[in-house]
Structure 1
């Protein structure tokens, strides 16, 4: 069997697939995310690796190969053996917000975007490294690698110190040459730390102690696109997870227009993923459900109890402490509810946030250049009423994939390619068509865009 291991932010799962690509065994462990202070989010790399090892051990072997994917961005500092020299800084972290603001005012962010097609955000590796260089230079001196989650797991399993083109994409990869560019390190003032960048391999792979081949697959965003069957230019993937991840396959590196989003290298020459990994997502909906004394099981009833348009209540759903990173970067972005009145109920508040998240997805996918089929996956895709809102807001059919194994499937496909397995067909999924509320949501989307534009001016004003 081929195994896909997905080291996510809050759940680490392993899935074994048979020769036909059918999942035949699964194991999962929760992962702990620590809030180390205001806007500071970290993880214990030893705990993450222990959980990854545990889920692999719980699957029946033998395995032909193991593909490893996982959360991207952030900084996982390790020594020469892959063991942590400090807790990993998560992609959710906001400690580099002030550095990012300086880089924006100095024109560094735009210069980086014009070279790479990627706009940095507080949890990206470059600003996190710059923050650590200012605040904890001793840990950078003690480290051998400033890497990523999946690469840490692979190194601990096999001893291989390497990364793949997708994780290397942001922020130091020249997308045209496929290698690190020293001028990008210079722009960030980080040339002295180039030694911390792991070599790029296509693909990175090595055997573990029992001889099983371990492959560092693309990280979770491109792995999910691969696992979801996004193969044609213009096709897109929407992951309804803790955050939204919106991606569109493209054959060009776009560096014009307003800087936004990420450009991620794939394993195919001349193909990139234009990614808009928004911070808004199911976590925002979970927070609002808890606020009104409800849970996920109550969501279908609450959505049914409020009409399209949420009785005039609307939301900007930017609840993340680190603000927003796609399709714009605003570290000070904050959520807002408008149109509240005594006739509004908790169902209207919940529906307004659910609609606001769908508007954010349309904003991201429009910026990414979606023209073809849209695949939807992730935990949020299990809610058919919420999927209907997405189909109505987007005004297009969705191919919804069951379960939360798309990233693990992409990792398994990467491992299968490494051992010469033939490509497998994409899972069929269920098609959700837009309904009669699409016209109303088209008007609502225009109002949403105007509200975001106004809010961005407000977020940037100095606060007393």
Structure 2
């Protein structure tokens, strides 16, 4: 059995695969988020405990020896650990908004743009740079007590293997300190963010990804394991997106658009980031929007509609949702791709007493689709498009999304991030796996020409409304 571990924001999963890529079993356990006045934090011990639990459940359920394991997980945020990988304080999530005033300052004084022009990283409040700077100003004792500021999977890797120090990989290091040309930390960026005296907290970058053997928690002792890449590039690997121009849309809590590229364009509006991969010269142009299925979850909760009712309701109202429109920017920290507006908020328009829950749900799905189209265009999509994530469980939404995007969708179901983690580990250990078989799409969804034409016009209207909303957010 090949094991992929995906430490998500709200769910921790362990998936087992056979040598041909067939999914044998999946174990999952939810983990909590503590939200308070813009702070979004996670209990590291709860997260690590969930990892150990799902691994124990998986290996008990599938009586096969573990050949190797690959680790991936949520990116960004700040996970402060001591020398053994144990928490110094609660982890600040990538969804955290406490550093928005610092980001406002850096947007105004040019620091934000300088960072992008040097690294290809458009900072947002929940990325390590602003969060570390905020902690340095407001909680310096935690930084003093820490040995490393890492990402989620790095903490898990150190705990599972008993490594003497924390390490990260080029993908997690990409935002915002990594120079994509040298694949080393850019000390000038550290200086610009006022963190030179905290430079020692940045974990060494293992290039290629680090490997080690487990100590025995969760997995049998001595199991070979590889650390990384984080969830976005892991999903790209798991969906077979490795050729320049091909793209991936992850319809999950975060709506992430990724396009494989060998280029590096640091001009244009600063947004998104370039994610370095294990292959030098190969990158992913990423436009990870803040909210994907979370927007639909909020609307479903507000209207009292269950997830299993969505497909039926989408069929009850026509394209355009009887004039209801949704700008789906629900995150408390605003938006980060394909533009950065920390104060942008969602807008719901065209609602009347005649509007139905079906109208609200279709309008939300259409709004998310328009946001996805915006991100994919900005990322430079020219080839095929794969889609994965929780949203793929709705066939009606996938048909709607194909129409809104105006292109076929290669829908890849299952634990795509965990698949990518295994493929990355196999490449690192020199284990030959049939990548095309592992990444074969479940189904291809074609757009319908008439609806696609309708949504092309709707997309133009969406961009116009967005421009107006961005202007209001700045005023």
For this structure pair, what is the TM-score category when the shorter chain's length is used for normalisation?
A: over 0.9
Give the aligned partner of residue 51 of structure 1. 50
Q: Give distance in 1, aligned partners of 2:399 and 2:472.
A: 32
- Determine whether 1:74 maps to 2:74: no
Unaligned runs of 5+ in 2: 216-220
Deviations 1:219-238 (A, max 9, x none): 00000000100011010011
- Which residue in the other structure is 1:440 paired with? 454
Structure 2 residue corresponding to 1:396, chosen from 399, 407, 424: 407
Q: Which residue of 1 aligns with 2:396?
A: 385
Question: What is the aligned partner in structure 2 of residue 31 from structure 1?
Answer: 31
Aligned residue for 1:204? 210
The answer to whether the Cα contact below 8 Å between 2:413 and 2:441 also exists between their aligned partners in 1 is no
CA RMSD of aligned residues (A): 1.0
Figure out how many residues of one structure are paired with residues of the other and give that number.
Answer: 459
What is the match of residue 128 of structure 1?
131
Shift of 1:25: 2.3
Conserved? CA contact 1:286–1:295, under 8 Å: no
Larger deviation, residues 74-83 vs 338-347: 338-347
In 2, the alpha carbon distance for the partners of 1:328 and 1:252 equals 20
Q: Is the 8 A contact 1:165 1:265 kept in 2?
A: yes
The equivalent residue for 1:15 is 15
Among 247, 263, 270, the residue aligned to 1:259: 270
Q: Could you tell me how far apart the structure 2 residues matched to 1:30 and 1:291 are?
A: 22
Task: Identify unmatched segments of 5+ residues in structure 1.
Answer: none
1:295 to 2:306 alignment: yes
How far, CA to CA, are the matches of 2:303 and 2:209 in structure 1? 47
Tell me, in whole angstroms, the C-alpha distance in 1 between the residues paired with 2:393 and 2:187.
Answer: 44
Which residue of the partner structure matches residue 83 of structure 1? 86
Rounded Cα–Cα distance in structure 2 between residues aligned with 1:313 and 1:14: 40
Deviation of 1:27 (Å): 1.1
State the alpha-carbon separation in 2 of the partners of residues 376 and 5 from structure 1.
20
Deviations 1:67-120 (A, max 9, x none): 110000000000011000000000000000000000110100000000111100
Question: Among 143, 147, 158, which residue is 2:146 paired with?
Answer: 143
The structural deviation recorded for 1:420 is 1.4
**1:185-244 residue CA offsets vs partner (Å, 9 max, x unmatched):** 011111111101111111211112221112102000000000100011010011111120
Preserved CA contact (<8 Å) 2:272 2:336: yes
CA distance in structure 1 between the aligned counterparts of 2:170 and 2:446, rounded to whole angstroms? 35
State the TM-score, normalizing by the size of structure 2. Answer: 0.95
Distance in 2 separating the partners of 1:325 and 1:355: 20
- Please report how far the alpha carbon of residue 62 of structure 1 lies from its aligned counterpart in structure 2 after TM superposition: 2.4
2:184 corresponds in structure 1 to 179
The 2-side partners of 1:59 and 1:347 are apart by 39
Cα deviation digits, residues 137-184 of structure 1 (max 9, x gap): 010000000000000000001133211100011111000000111111
Do the aligned partners of 1:76 and 1:152 also contact (CA within 8 Å) in 2?
yes
C-alpha displacement at 1:344, in angstroms?
Answer: 2.1
2:340 & 2:56 partners in 1: Cα distance?
Answer: 40
| Aligned positions of 1:352-367 closer than 5 A | 352-367=363-378
Q: Which secondary structure does the structure 2 equivalent of 1:273 belong to?
A: strand
Alignment of 1:272 onto 2:297:
no
Q: Once the 2 structures are TM-superposed, how far is the Cα of residue 261 of structure 1 from its aligned partner? A: 0.7
Once the two structures are superposed, residues 399-449 of structure 1 have per-residue CA deviations (whole angstroms, 9 ceiling, x without a partner) of 11122x000000111111122112421223200001121111000000000
TM-score by length of 1: 0.97
Provide the residue aligned with 1:222 in structure 2. Answer: 233
How far did residue 348 of structure 1 move? 1.0
Q: Among 245, 254, 263, which residue is 1:243 paired with? A: 254
Q: Counterpart in 2 of 1:94?
A: 97
Residue 330 (1) aligns with residue 341 (2): yes
Task: Tell me, in whole angstroms, the C-alpha distance in 2 between the residues paired with 1:345 and 1:5.
Answer: 41
Measured after TM superposition, the shift of residue 331 of structure 1 is: 1.1
Report the more deviating stretch, 121-130 or 422-431: 422-431
Moved over 6 A (4+): none
